[in-house]
């Protein structure tokens, strides 16, 4: 049929004349930048054929992703899902400012969606520094592990970070988890520390600047360094470029370390409980871990401990 859909292109009906001819919009092909040719008129035969073509057009638009079903979302959730890891949302195609900082030397491979981890030409981390030789690598999460963030004003916020979203600057209020300073200082002395968050760099990077006053983090990894797997941003430790028996991840979300649960020290999600001592309680365990030959023996002991999150001493 003349004027039928060709490949993945679809003409747009501009008008129908009194003879039942469909006049196609000559700019319809140019919307997607696929063709400069001018389409011809098409005889639809009857009004029902016009409706059928419109129906096919709508189905085509949904298939191409140029139209989406109406959804109702709270504005706060949209903002959070665009920058924070807590709301697992894959709609981050407009992120142009989420690369690792220039001084971090961290690689940023393309995220693979809904697939298994794939081998990268380059590892996420640079070569181990001389001062970190023979140290184990500890990967530390940010949100709900070290800090809690909110778009709602918090009277006792430790930091306020401006974040630009779609041309509008929003204030993000940050609370530090109790004892996070002591925890980070001691971890920096014992380990090669890496910040690994599923949040975007335009939010997480300035938070890390304010939080890490001792330059504990040798490298910072953000959302684009995760693997998007079954609806979650997973931190694939095999891509770090370190021996897995020398790597530990500290994270509040089991989904983040689903590929390597045996390397994880799970912590409870923290929001605003100021009597929390979990980070402080973890320090003796990590002091022991730093002296171990590999991480698995102590991590196995921790997983078998009656305590849910705090390793046995």
Residues forming the active site: 141, 143
Identify the CA nearest to 223 among candidates 251, 201, 193, 255: 201
Identify the CA nearest to 221 among candidates 113, 121, 119, 101: 101
Burial of 4 (0-12, 13-18, 19+ CB in 10 A): exposed
Contacts of 30 (CB under 8 A, 6+ apart): 36
- C-alpha to C-alpha distance for 240 and 26, rounded to whole angstroms: 51
- C-alpha to C-alpha distance for 257 and 237, rounded to whole angstroms: 8
Residue 60 zone, left/alpha/beta (φ > 0; ψ -120 to 50; rest): alpha
Neighbouring C-alpha atoms within 13 Å toward the C-beta of 104: 24
């Amino acid at each position: 049929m003349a004027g039928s859909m060709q490949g993945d292109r679809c003409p747009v009906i501009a008008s129908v004349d009194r003879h039942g001819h469909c006049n196609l919009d000559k700019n319809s092909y140019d919307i997607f930048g696929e063709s400069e040719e001018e389409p011809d008129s098409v005889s639809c035969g009857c009004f029902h054929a016009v409706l059928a073509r419109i129906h096919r057009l709508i189905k085509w638009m949904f298939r191409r992703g140029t139209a989406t079903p109406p959804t109702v979302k709270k504005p706060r959730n949209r903002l959070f899902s665009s920058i924070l890891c807590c709301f697992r949302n894959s709609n981050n195609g407009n992120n142009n400012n989420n690369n690792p900082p220039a001084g971090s030397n961290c690689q940023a491979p393309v995220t693979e969606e809904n697939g298994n981890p794939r081998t990268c030409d380059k590892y996420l981390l640079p070569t181990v520094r001389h001062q970190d030789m023979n140290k184990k690598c500890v990967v530390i999460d940010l949100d709900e592990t070290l800090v809690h963030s909110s778009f709602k004003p918090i009277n006792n916020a430790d930091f306020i970070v401006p974040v630009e979203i779609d041309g509008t600057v929003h204030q993000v209020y940050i609370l530090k988890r109790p004892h996070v300073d002591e925890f980070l200082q001691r971890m920096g002395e014992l380990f090669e520390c890496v910040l690994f968050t599923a949040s975007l760099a335009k939010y997480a990077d300035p938070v890390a600047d304010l939080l890490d006053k001792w330059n504990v983090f040798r490298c910072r990894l953000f959302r684009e360094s995760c693997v998007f797997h079954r609806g979650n941003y997973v931190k694939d430790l095999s891509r770090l470029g370190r021996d897995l028996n020398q790597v530990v991840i500290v994270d509040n979300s089991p989904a983040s370390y689903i590929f390597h649960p045996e390397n994880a020290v799970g912590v409870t999600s923290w929001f605003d409980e100021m009597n929390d001592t979990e980070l402080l309680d973890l320090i003796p365990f990590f002091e022991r871990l730093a002296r171990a030959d590999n991480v698995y023996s102590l991590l196995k002991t921790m997983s078998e401990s009656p305590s849910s999150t705090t390793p046995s001493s």
